[in-house]
Structure 1
Amino acid sequence: MSKKNNPKNHSALKVQQGIEQPSSLNPALTGGLRQFKKDILSPEAFLKGVLSGDRSLLGRAITLVESGLPEEKEAARQLVNQCLPYSGKSIRIGITGVPGVGKSTFIESFGLQMISRGKRVAVLAIDPSSTRTKGSILGDKTRMEELSTHANAFIRPSASSGTLGGVARATRETIILCEAAGFDLIIIETVGVGQSETAVAQIVDFFLLLMLAGGGDELQGIKRGIMEMADLIVINKADGDNIQKAKLAKMEYENALHLFPALPNGWSPKVLTASAINKDGLDAVWKEIETFVKMMNQNGWFTKNRQQQSLSILRDSITQSLNSGFFDNKIIKQLLKEYEQQILEEKISPYEASQKLLERYFVEIEK
């Protein structure tokens, strides 16, 4: 075997131009191994790579934006701002569903169908419950093997930092980079059904809820608020013995939707059935999304919604920055421990302690 072709001569961590790297590897686990910090590129170099559609550099750019390290924040801000003029041209779709509903199969089948229509698809999976490792490891690429290897697709778990605000901000910035890289359909996948839907609603144009048929009460375990956020409900796995059950479930959800108040954007959510594994019903799903986008553009809601999302993220970002500045202050850290002990000993109330801490913080930042 020649030296050139010997696998021992290659490292999985080596960044190779033009070859997609394992961008879903957890930065918190690989930071000490990879060469990222040693040969960090300038924002301009990252921008050139992103605009050229280089998925390797796109993955590294996203890692930079998600980093959170003080020495990398300025470069990340510059990169996002430079990508901003090239963003905004995609359709952003949020997809959630109960465990076992087949989200990954649905997203892969739907994504491949969209690629066959000439679109470039990016899938961003978020999990705000992942607080220990701050991310995921390869999970979504192994669940969507065909889509992840397609030249017109990009799959990336999004670091959440364990906060819903962190989800919205980090994922929004990742969306901007993906749009600048030429992806015109961005799918945001939430892990499970929970609080993350609130954060996702701040960054998508269209929200799709996947459901299963059968198993007793069709509405059991589904929070009213999540159904109210849905622009479309799709009963997945409508195949084989489940076809009739799916039709009955469709009627259940349609009846439930009639009880909800009208949406301010004038849209009336529908319920469809689909079989991701058989690729049935996917065309109808896309047609519904196209109809929604057309209607929202006509009534001005599409632009208005994105503007409101940007303002919401502005406020969240300010709140997070103030929060970090307060709790990262060395003096406050020490005083906080002292006041916490006093509270436990019932020597001071939490309200008085918080006021004293804030007063001291304002003194510290004025120095």
Structure 2
Amino acid sequence: MLSVSPPLAAALLTGNRRALARAITLTESTRPDHEVQAQALLAEVLPHAGRSVRVGLTGVPGVGKSTFIEALGLLLADAGHRVAVLAVDPSSARTGGSIMGDKTRMPRLTVHAGAFIRPSPSGGTLGGVARRTREAITLCEAAGYDVILVETVGVGQSETQVAAMTDLFVLLTLPNAGDELQGIKRGIMELADLCVVNKADTDPRAAARAQTELTAALRLLTPHGAPWRPRALRSSALTGAGIPQVWEGVEAYRQAVDVAAKRRAQTAVWFDDLLREAAWQAFQAGVDAERLRALRAEVLAGTLTPVQGVRALLSPSGGQQEGPPYLGDGPT
């Protein structure tokens, strides 16, 4: 096995926060030599990972995600947990830059000895989850953090990305959920293991009504016989009301669901996704670029259908073969 930077791995395993920050930076680098070093580091610390509670959180803009995470993180850190917050910051589609202001929005948690906050640029990846978030989770676990909170950019169908790397998914909403429910897509509701009406102190009656509506919606969306029935809760991150009950919901979920089996399934999906990405990159590297451009031009001109163009490109003879099985309606 390739071994690189033993001092970094050793420092990371002692829980050194500076070493953890350096390790995450290494995994986020796009330099080929850094990627080799990062994978060697991950392989070295992997046996020490996997013993945490992984919670994904999302919500509409203005719902108070950062304030909620700080309140929950302080509750857990004060109780003796070591809490890591991976806050994914949206990258500009124009410049590629990010504000990275999550630490400024969690001032008390930032200075807590039992907490580690890492803002990371999303890089435009699907669902607002940074490309290396999974690796960052592994590194945080190896450093001894037993609660990992992953904050995503916002609500959308693509938030399935965070659900694919955490144990449970928390959706934050606002008290006026009558309107909010119209803006929350069914896909997100189906992913939610806990729905929390935050800022309940601003309008208690509206918050109670929203909780009732969410409970009814979750009941309709939950398959019969599911091991866990999603819950709707209320909280105020500002006053702290309801925050302990949210954590009780997290613990109840982990008692009801086979988390180890869920993580194995997530790892299998992750492997398949990486394999598809690597196969596509290898194909691009080996394909005749001029022929690819010519076939694309024919497709755009309407002289070939997209399927015919792909078949011609993959045909060993260069002609239009009768139809490879991968172009069917799906796996058989």
Using the size of structure 2 for normalisation, the TM-score is 0.87
Partner residue of 1:101 out of 52, 63, 69:
63
1:157 aligns with 2:114: no
Counterpart of 1:194, as a letter, is G
3-state SS in 2 of match to 1:286: helix
Measure the CA separation in 1 of the matches of 2:177 and 2:296. Answer: 48
1:79-114 CA-to-partner distances (Å, cap 9, x unmatched) read 111111000110000111111100010001111111
3-state SS in 1 of match to 2:133: helix
Contact kept? 1:254, 1:271, Cα under 8 Å: yes
What's 1:357 paired with?
313
Contact kept? 2:195, 2:233, Cα under 8 Å: yes
Extract unaligned runs of 5+ from structure 1: 1-40, 363-367
Partner residue of 2:221 out of 253, 260, 267:
260
Q: 1:328 to 1:145 in 2, by over 3 A?
A: farther
Measure the CA separation in 1 of the matches of 2:110 and 2:226. Answer: 34
What's 1:335 paired with?
291
Measure the CA separation in 1 of the matches of 2:290 and 2:128. Answer: 26
What's 1:46 paired with?
8
1:74 aligns with 2:36: yes
What's 1:272 paired with?
233
Measure the CA separation in 2 of the matches of 1:333 and 1:68. Answer: 24
3-state SS in 2 of match to 1:341: helix
CA RMSD of aligned residues (A): 2.6
3-state SS in 2 of match to 1:126: strand
The Cα of 1:354 is off from its aligned counterpart by 1.9
Measure the CA separation in 2 of the matches of 1:318 and 1:133. Answer: 29
What's 1:245 paired with?
206
Measure the CA separation in 2 of the matches of 1:263 and 1:92. Answer: 25
Using the size of structure 1 for normalisation, the TM-score is 0.79
Contact kept? 1:168, 1:200, Cα under 8 Å: no
1:307-354 CA-to-partner distances (Å, cap 9, x unmatched) read 10110101011011112223345x544433332223233343322322
Count of matched residue pairs:
316
3-state SS in 2 of match to 1:280: coil
Extract unaligned runs of 5+ from structure 2: 319-332
Contact kept? 1:128, 1:196, Cα under 8 Å: no
What's 2:98 paired with?
136
1:248-285 CA-to-partner distances (Å, cap 9, x unmatched) read 11111112122123366511111111100111111111
Q: 1:195 to 1:216 in 2, by over 3 A?
A: closer
Measure the CA separation in 2 of the matches of 1:286 and 1:51. Answer: 27
Contact kept? 1:159, 1:170, Cα under 8 Å: no
Matches within 5 A, 1:185-200: 185-200=147-162
